Amino acid sequence: MNLALSDEQEFLRDAARGALARHKTIDAAREAADGTELPDLWPVAVEAGWPGLLVSEDNGGAGLQPFDAMLVAQECGRVLAGVQLLGHVPASFLLDRGGYARIGEIADGSLRAAFCAARPPGDVVEEWTVEPRKGLKRAAAPSVSGDSVSGEVAWVPDAPGAGVFVVIGVEDGRPVALAVEGAAVQDAKVYDHTRSLGHVTFDGTAGTRLDVSPEQIASAWYIAQALIAAESVGTVETGLEMSIEYAKERFTFGRAIGSYQAVKHTLTEVLRQSENARSLLLYAGWAGEESAAEFPLAASAARAAAGSALDYAARATIGVHGGIGATWEHDAPYLFRRAQLSRRLLGGTHDAVDRVAGELLSSAA
Amino acid sequence: MNLALSDEQEFLRDAARGALARHKTIDAAREAADGTELPDLWPVAVEAGWPGLLVSEDNGGAGLQPFDAMLVAQECGRVLAGVQLLGHVPASFLLDRGGYARIGEIADGSLRAAFCAARPPGDVVEEWTVEPRKGLKRAAAPSVSGDSVSGEVAWVPDAPGAGVFVVIGVEDGRPVALAVEGAAVQDAKVYDHTRSLGHVTFDGTAGTRLDVSPEQIASAWYIAQALIAAESVGTVETGLEMSIEYAKERFTFGRAIGSYQAVKHTLTEVLRQSENARSLLLYAGWAGEESAAEFPLAASAARAAAGSALDYAARATIGVHGGIGATWEHDAPYLFRRAQLSRRLLGGTHDAVDRVAGELLSSAA
Amino acid sequence: MDLNDSPEQAEYRTKVRAWLEEHKGEAPVLRGEGALTDENEIVAARRAWQGKLAEAGLAGVTWPKEFGGQGLGPIEQVIVNQEIGAAGVPGILDVIGVGMLGPTIIAHGSEEQKSRYLGPMLHGDEVWCQLFSEPAAGSDLAGIQARAKQTDDGSWVVNGQKVWTTNAQFASFGLILVRTDADVPKHKGLTMFVVPMDAEGVTIRGLRQISGEAEFNEVFFDDVKLPADAVCGQVNSGWGTALTTLMYERVTIGLGSEGLGYNSNRFAAAIGADPEARRDSDVRHRLGEIATELLSIKFTGYRTLTALQRGQIPGPEAGLAKVTTVNAAVKAGDLIADVLGPEALADDGEWSYMISFLPGLKSAGGTEEILRNTIGERVLGLPPEPRLDKGIPFSELRAKEKEAVAS
Amino acid sequence: MDLNDSPEQAEYRTKVRAWLEEHKGEAPVLRGEGALTDENEIVAARRAWQGKLAEAGLAGVTWPKEFGGQGLGPIEQVIVNQEIGAAGVPGILDVIGVGMLGPTIIAHGSEEQKSRYLGPMLHGDEVWCQLFSEPAAGSDLAGIQARAKQTDDGSWVVNGQKVWTTNAQFASFGLILVRTDADVPKHKGLTMFVVPMDAEGVTIRGLRQISGEAEFNEVFFDDVKLPADAVCGQVNSGWGTALTTLMYERVTIGLGSEGLGYNSNRFAAAIGADPEARRDSDVRHRLGEIATELLSIKFTGYRTLTALQRGQIPGPEAGLAKVTTVNAAVKAGDLIADVLGPEALADDGEWSYMISFLPGLKSAGGTEEILRNTIGERVLGLPPEPRLDKGIPFSELRAKEKEAVAS
């Protein structure tokens, strides 16, 4: 029993924090909201070796585990860094296992991948589904026939500018992963300007079938869930630190506001939720490496806890700061924008909560 | 525009409070939980004229409105008085409108009625349904053929000992109200010992068809919802008063606990919820008299707000009192028992919330 | 219990409705086809429209007749508000002036101030703004640091910064609360002044919110000179004057629109348009809870009105309506965006704007926490928090704070 | 990251498992067929079983060897707990004594106390109870009013009342915290004593909870005489001694069962049995949120264990696990009863019992509010509340309180 980070993991985390600290990412988020283009942080990722984290060593990658990628995602989340890992990392997982020819370029980041994710069947919705453009009802996954794929996946993270798309489609009811090097991408950036999004359309588009199992395809979905979870916990950390600092310095009625129970208990609640989410990141990390059977539950629970922690923390950060926390010049609104959008991507926090229930109900049956 | 109580209404309320104050009803709740029989408060109701509140003056009643009955229910709720109005009042409404021969006895209380309620169709569940013994799925309403009825209604308030049952059944898809003077009642008292409950079974049982419209049958359901709402607000008042008193007297770390924000804000939240619920009691009372079209929305909203206020207040009352609030000798647990059971009767608070949504969605469509 | 008008009220309503019917073509169009878009044009048009409403007796309904009002009661004000809403035309532009600052001047101002300022205010010729809040004096309003010093000739020099000021960018005058004596406890050394917004040394800067819009302003005062007769009320009695303004703020809110435009039907329509959502029990439950809260506020408003008609002034508990409304609207935004997905967050969309606007609205006019303190103490009678600032001269208090942060 | 045993741990686990396999037939049966029902019989059987566990080295795993323990680390304690759980047998009866009071005596007791009390405690021959909380000293534990007065011969006389005392009804001894000097500030005048529960003047009364069960006791002390050597630690240093006990309480909880038996699978099974409920999106969402909270606690426990293995003592934030668990269980009770209906509230049902038990559990061991204060201050570093009781003699403080209530 040892849940402590290994020396290598601590190094990976500290290096990520160091590399990202050299960029004013939150200021960039503010400027991007005003129309300035967001600086491209992919070179930072490439230099740090993050594109190859989940690619096996034989294929030129680091051969690491989902938890290691989560550590990096958490650091990105801390500073709202728009590094395109949410698209690339789950895609690289399938490209590596699936015998993709250009895997070396994926590993070194010279080729950037995006992941047109499909939600695995559950106990209520029994089909593979993808994000719809709008509305509660999920869309059918694209249809695959041989080497070609047709259909649309909306709100795909990091799709604009990606060199290859891993798309999950369905053929005869079974999921198939295809690597497609050309697809029509419509830019769909919205609300959180640090997050690159696109609607990706395939119209009989040709691709390469990846030799992966349905279980691996499902795992890629849950890797994406775990990455969002980790990213969110990082953002919560920043909100909490910022709020504590302010609560010590801001006085009202002759006392620092942090001495009032309303503020103190709110921030303790942020701590409670973020510590719980952190525990579930460990669960997801462990299951991602050791237990394919528990990965759906673990990754979904991590996303559920982290998503709700981020929602709570983003609002609490604004609240503790009073009026000033809701102004353009303050950092808190960019945490809030992050929270609002993250909550609705890749099935949404809500679907992750439903999945937790579904997994437990299925195993209780 | 005038939402103030009339002089008559103030008198009715004050008289109810006075009449009930002569009985140690909360102590009786405690003793009943230990197996002592609950004192019969029906004579109090009879003496005060409550059985005839909704019966027209021509039939020997007071010819008053649902809101007046709600005022009495609120007073009963304040002291957890087990007066059997939740069964009798909605039943008397239909018996009065439906031409029931013994309506004079209903009005003077010499004959006590119970109401085997059916939930009116909504935008999702389109049938008339009744409480099931167990589980989320509601049961089909009893079936009526001519003058006879077959089926079961579970958890009927005030059924044990009632002299006549108003049962809502279905004939050819249409709701029918029958007055049945003999039915098999199985005592079903549970958790809240101030609340008389029974499972009522009809097996080709003969009754008298009441000449009432489907709208009136639906109104009886919403009268029952409004009564539970009023009762609940009364119980909230008691919890709040008890908590404020204690919060002023109990000291910790050199300060009265009521000076701490955690306690102060909790009690303000009880106030907020109870004031909102009180506003909706007025809405329900107004609609019950003036607008049949809005009564479903108004009564359901009142029940939704009052139910959630009671849940919150019951837990807050125990919480403010610390450990002592969770002991048998304290009054707070009896408010809690009331909250727990009320929440699950007659469709439950949950169904009332759903009805609010359904009404709005239907009118928005 | 009666939601209907009395015969007199019905008659008044008919009169108001008739006037609006006749003149509504003259009102500025703010939404839909042909709507004005330029901010200056909008302000000009709304000022002109306020003038017409005032001429017709539909502004300052409760102001005394001697100041151009109608001398009527709160119920008539509500009838006017309702009919203006029903006619689909804008109300007066300067709600803050006519609803709160004018009544403050009526209560505390000099005769000269009343005759100089009230008429142009009522007619929209001069718009007013309220200069109370500061960066370090929001919830704790008495912690104001902006200061005025009297010179030998009796005039005053004002320095400091105000914030969260609505309408400052086009206001002619402001009512400003400043510290005139720092050597007495903090509630005691405050004074209220009338300040012309075009005075030398006044700088107005838009304060952008989450949405990117500047819904409020910051206003800076740099050696702004005011004559001795600019004092509204008495020197060092500004706290009492400010309390009057805040009391009228509660009345204005109590008489105002139900739920700040956050209406359950509007939310239900957005959700009902999605066939999957309208049958989803979780969505329905969330919608039902939100709608219940908002419906209750409507009737809470009627209760407030009943009380106002009986001459009762709403207490601090009236503030709970805002808490209920804002929190329900926050939940509604979350629900609608959960149903519609990221599309709901698209720039310039109504839901995106609402979601961005609400976090700021939450603390506008005092945080929920302070309100709950006040209600807990004044309405429920709970004991106060220990106050470390009681009876201590303001200057000493500030020094203590600085010391505490440094340590 | 590794959830597996090291080779040494695996070996230890095998040994423990083998002993339990061999002896589990000797354990008392508390549930199901052939279960004991008489409380006295249950206590007797569990004491005997604790003795066997102690003989086998499965009680007091972390106690030093000189006092009959095994001198092992927290991980071995957890292995024992896990294996006892897996074998389906009860653990030791006197968790409070062995987990918290024994270690307190080891840290602060006299040599005579250690040799007299620790052995019989470990073997279940003498059960112990903790006499700290009082009606007016719960969250504010230092507000204790029970008092001991020293007589001329050096012995002590104890008067007062304790409450929320688990196991008092069959305990041989208690560790009691009393005030021995009321003229110093409240944390300073306290002393810890060992008290025989059969001493003259000790009265024990069951305290019934919502469910009707007496899960705790009240204990009254009426001129109870204690010898001078009954002091545990130093006179007037009882607060420090008590802090040791509370620290071991956190460790015991940290090593203890996951989630107090409130397990998400158990809740899911109850709901899954209802076919309508398992497809209802609202029910699923509520279940998913509850389960997420409870699952997180399992891994929080593993994190605590990792820390303990590295010699770190859990801080006050460990208490958040209880907050999470209790609040999730409350929600689970509400959900299950919403699904099953009033039937779920039937007397003697498992859900009815849980629903009744939880409100009391919420404040047991200190309220959530006080815990959040402590964590906010000690973990997040936020400033403390103003303390009105700092440095004031206890007797004066009491007088002030009485005065405040009277006013």
Higher pLDDT, D139 or D94: D94
Q: Is A161 left (phi over 0), alpha (psi -120 to 50) or beta?
A: left
Could you say which DSSP state residue D4 is in?
S
Summarised one tens digit per residue, pLDDT across range D267-320 is: 999 999 999 999 999 999 999 999 999 999 989 988 988 888 888 887 888 889
Q: How far apart are CA A67 and CA A223, in angstroms?
A: 9
Residues of D with a catalytic annotation lie at 249
Q: Report H helices in chain B.
A: 7-21, 25-33, 42-48, 66-78, 85-97, 103-108, 214-249, 261-290, 295-320, 332-342, 348-364
Q: Which residues of chain D lie closer than 8 angstroms to C386, CB-CB? A: 386, 388
* A188 touching C (Cβ < 8 Å): yes
Give burial (CB, 10 Å; 0-12/13-18/19+) of C400: middle
Q: Of residues C76, C126, C218, C249, which has the active-site annotation?
A: C249
Looking at the DSSP bridge assignments, the partners of residue B156 are B198
Distances in Å between the Cα of C352 and the Cα atoms of A133, A188, A337, C349, D196 are 16, 15, 10, 5, 68
* Separation of CA C341 from chain center: 33
* A214 touching C (Cβ < 8 Å): no
3-state secondary structure B97-139: HCCCCCHHHHHHCCCCEEEECCECCCCCCCCCEECCCCCCCCE
Q: How far apart are CA A324 and CA C160, in angstroms?
A: 17
Instruction: Look at residue D255 and tell me whether its pLDDT is greater than 80.
Output: no
Q: In Å, how far is D156's CA from the nearest CA of chain B?
A: 28
Q: How far apart are CA B118 and CA B110, in angstroms?
A: 25
* Separation of CA B44 from chain center: 18
Q: How far apart are CA D133 and CA B322, in angstroms?
A: 12
Of C243, C225, C119, nearest to C177 (Cα)?
C243
Give burial (CB, 10 Å; 0-12/13-18/19+) of B86: buried
* B262 touching A (Cβ < 8 Å): yes
Predicted confidence at residue B365, as pLDDT, reads: 67
pLDDT, mean of residues D27-51: 91
Long-range contacts, B105-111 (Cβ 8 Å, 24+) = B106/B51, B106/B52, B106/B55, B106/B61, B106/B164, B107/B51, B107/B52, B107/B55, B107/B59, B107/B60, B107/B61, B108/B46, B108/B51, B108/B52, B108/B60, B109/B42, B109/B45, B109/B46, B109/B50, B109/B51, B109/B52, B110/B46, B111/B163, B111/B164
Q: In chain A, which residue's Cα lies nearest the Cα of D1? A: A3
Distances in Å between the Cα of D287 and the Cα atoms of A280, A360, B307, D115, D300 are 17, 9, 21, 51, 20
* C303 touching B (Cβ < 8 Å): yes
User: Using the beta-carbon criterion (under 8 Å), do A260 and B260 form an inter-chain contact?
Assistant: no
* D342 touching B (Cβ < 8 Å): yes
Contact A165, A114 (CB under 8 A): yes
In which residue ranges of chain C is pLDDT below 50? 259
pLDDT, mean of residues D234-254: 89
Give burial (CB, 10 Å; 0-12/13-18/19+) of D223: exposed
Residue identified by tokens 């102004």 is A327
Query: How many of the other CB atoms lie within 10 Å of CB of B352?
Result: 27
Question: What is chain A's length?
Answer: 365
Contact D374, D320 (CB under 8 A): no
Q: How far apart are CA C214 and CA A328, in angstroms?
A: 9
Q: What backbone phi and psi angles, to 5 degrees, belong to C203?
A: -120, 130
Helix axes A261-290, A66-78, angle to 10 degrees: 150
Instruction: Look at residue D257 and tell me whether its pLDDT is greater than 60.
Output: no
The DSSP secondary structure of B58-110, one letter per residue, reads: GGTS----HHHHHHHHHHHHHTT---THHHHHHHHHHHHHTT-TTHHHHHHTS
Chain D interface disruption, residue of C280, C282, C401, most D CBs within 10 A? C282
Q: What is the ipTM of this complex?
A: 0.96
Predicted confidence at residue D142, as pLDDT, reads: 87
Q: What backbone phi and psi angles, to 5 degrees, belong to B18?
A: -65, -45
User: Using the beta-carbon criterion (under 8 Å), do A262 and B261 form an inter-chain contact?
Assistant: yes
Query: How many of the other CB atoms lie within 10 Å of CB of B271?
Result: 22
Instruction: Look at residue A146 and tell me whether its pLDDT is greater than 60.
Output: yes
Q: How many CA atoms lie within 13 A of D41 on its CB side?
A: 9
Locate C399 and state its tokens.
Answer: 């020094």
Instruction: Look at residue A269 and tell me whether its pLDDT is greater than 80.
Output: yes
Helix, strand or coil for residue B175?
A: strand
Strand pairing category for B251-252 and B255-256: antiparallel
Looking at the DSSP bridge assignments, the partners of residue D393 are D185
Q: What backbone phi and psi angles, to 5 degrees, belong to B63?
A: 60, 35
Helix, strand or coil for residue D68?
A: coil
The amino acid that residue A110 corresponds to is S
Q: Would you say the pTM of this structure is higher than 0.90? A: yes
Q: What is the pLDDT along chain B (365 residues), one digit of tens a residue?
A: 788 999 999 999 999 999 999 999 999 999 999 989 999 999 999 999 999 999 999 999 999 999 999 999 999 999 999 999 999 999 999 999 999 999 999 999 999 999 999 999 999 999 999 999 999 999 999 999 999 999 999 999 999 999 999 999 999 999 999 999 989 999 999 999 999 999 999 999 999 999 999 999 999 999 999 999 999 999 999 999 999 999 999 998 889 999 999 999 999 999 999 999 999 999 999 999 999 999 999 999 999 999 999 999 999 999 999 989 999 999 999 999 999 999 999 999 999 999 999 999 999 86
- Mean pLDDT across chain B, nearest whole number? 97
Q: Is B24 left (phi over 0), alpha (psi -120 to 50) or beta?
A: beta
Contact A271, C406 (CB under 8 A): no
Summarised one tens digit per residue, pLDDT across range A42-100 is: 999 999 999 999 999 999 999 999 999 999 999 999 999 999 999 999 999 999 999 99
Q: Is B34 left (phi over 0), alpha (psi -120 to 50) or beta?
A: alpha
Summarised one tens digit per residue, pLDDT across range B254-312 is: 899 999 999 999 999 999 999 999 999 999 999 999 999 999 999 999 999 999 999 99
Please state, for a pLDDT cut of 90, what percent of chain A lies above it: 96
Give burial (CB, 10 Å; 0-12/13-18/19+) of C46: buried
Q: In chain A, which residue's Cα lies nearest the Cα of C211? A: A328
Q: In Å, how far is A262's CA from the nearest CA of chain B?
A: 6
Predicted confidence at residue D256, as pLDDT, reads: 62
Of A343, B122, A345, nearest to C278 (Cα)?
B122
Chain A interface disruption, residue of C343, C348, C353, C402, most A CBs within 10 A? C343
* B137 touching D (Cβ < 8 Å): yes
Locate C367 and state its tokens.
Answer: 């945080």
Of B186, B181, B217, nearest to B201 (Cα)?
B186
User: Using the beta-carbon criterion (under 8 Å), do D287 and A357 form an inter-chain contact?
Assistant: yes
Provide the chain D residues 247-266 that lie in CB contact (below 8 A) with chain A.
264-265
User: Using the beta-carbon criterion (under 8 Å), do A262 and B260 form an inter-chain contact?
Assistant: no
Strand pairing category for A164-171 and A113-116: parallel
Provide the chain C residues 17-46 that lie in CB contact (below 8 A) with chain A.
none
Chain C: which residues have CB within 8 Å of chain D?
Answer: 280-285, 383, 386, 388, 404
Contact B323, D209 (CB under 8 A): no
* Angle, vertex CA C314, rays to CA C312 and CA C315, nearest 5: 120
